[in-house]
């Protein structure tokens, strides 16, 4: 009996260790379920965004990066959050209008979630969990934190808000991940 329990625990731990971002579903900014599994095989940049933040102009660089790489298997997923300085107070419709009219955003946008605290969304609970993601885990510090996800759904790296989407560090990481799609 003890052996069976031990085997079951080990199997459960293996399954938990195999979790990826593709195991999560958010809602699109229009309220429809948006399983991240739809991006399997692509390189994904997950970004918690806000409309009234000092980093909000990064939307321009995010859109440029998306346009530059989308035909090579790259997607950006914007995830609005109001966790920092109440810098994303609007409704999903207001956020969508702001992003499309001011920054001409065409990459997928999700419905507003919480990226830290007691009401943290399960995706961000996973992304920030040090045991699941020892290299990139840790609490989100501010808006525009970026997680680069490989085609297998695993976190490649994390970029803090001050690292712009068009910085050499981010673009080289994207290009390296995209090169892996060819092999």
**What residues are labeled active site?**
53
Question: Judging by DSSP bridges, how do beta strands 25-27 and 33-35 pair with one another?
Answer: antiparallel
Spatial distance between the Cα atoms of 8 and 11, rounded to a whole number of angstroms: 5
Q: Is the dihedral of CA 161, 164, 165, 169 positive or negative?
A: negative
Q: At what angle do helices 92-103 and 58-69 cross, to 10 degrees?
A: 80
Question: Judging by DSSP bridges, how do beta strands 43-49 and 25-27 pair with one another?
Answer: unpaired
Question: Judging by DSSP bridges, how do beta strands 74-80 and 43-49 pair with one another?
Answer: parallel
Spatial distance between the Cα atoms of 143 and 59, rounded to a whole number of angstroms: 12
In three-state secondary structure terms, 48 is strand
**In degrees rounded to 5, what are phi and psi of residue 33?**
-60, 135
**In degrees rounded to 5, what are phi and psi of residue 86?**
50, 45
In three-state secondary structure terms, 106 is coil
């Amino acid at each position: 009996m003890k052996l069976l329990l031990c085997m079951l625990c080990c199997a459960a731990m293996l399954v938990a260790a195999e979790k990826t971002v593709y195991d999560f579903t958010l809602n699109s900014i229009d309220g429809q379920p948006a399983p991240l599994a739809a991006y399997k095989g692509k390189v994904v940049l997950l970004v918690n965004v806000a409309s009234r933040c000092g980093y909000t102009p990064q939307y321009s660089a995010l859109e440029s990066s998306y346009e530059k790489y989308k035909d090579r298997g790259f997607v950006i997923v914007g995830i609005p959050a109001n966790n920092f300085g109440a810098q994303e107070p609007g409704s999903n419709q207001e956020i969508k209008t702001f992003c499309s009219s001011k920054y001409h955003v065409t990459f997928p946008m999700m419905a507003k979630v919480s990226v830290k605290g007691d009401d943290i969304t399960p995706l961000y609970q996973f992304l920030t969990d040090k045991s699941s993601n020892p290299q990139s885990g840790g609490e989100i510090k501010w808006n525009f934190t970026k997680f680069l996800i490989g085609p297998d759904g695993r976190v490649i790296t994390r970029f803090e808000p001050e690292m712009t989407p068009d910085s050499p560090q981010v673009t080289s990481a994207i290009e390296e991940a995209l090169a892996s799609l060819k092999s």
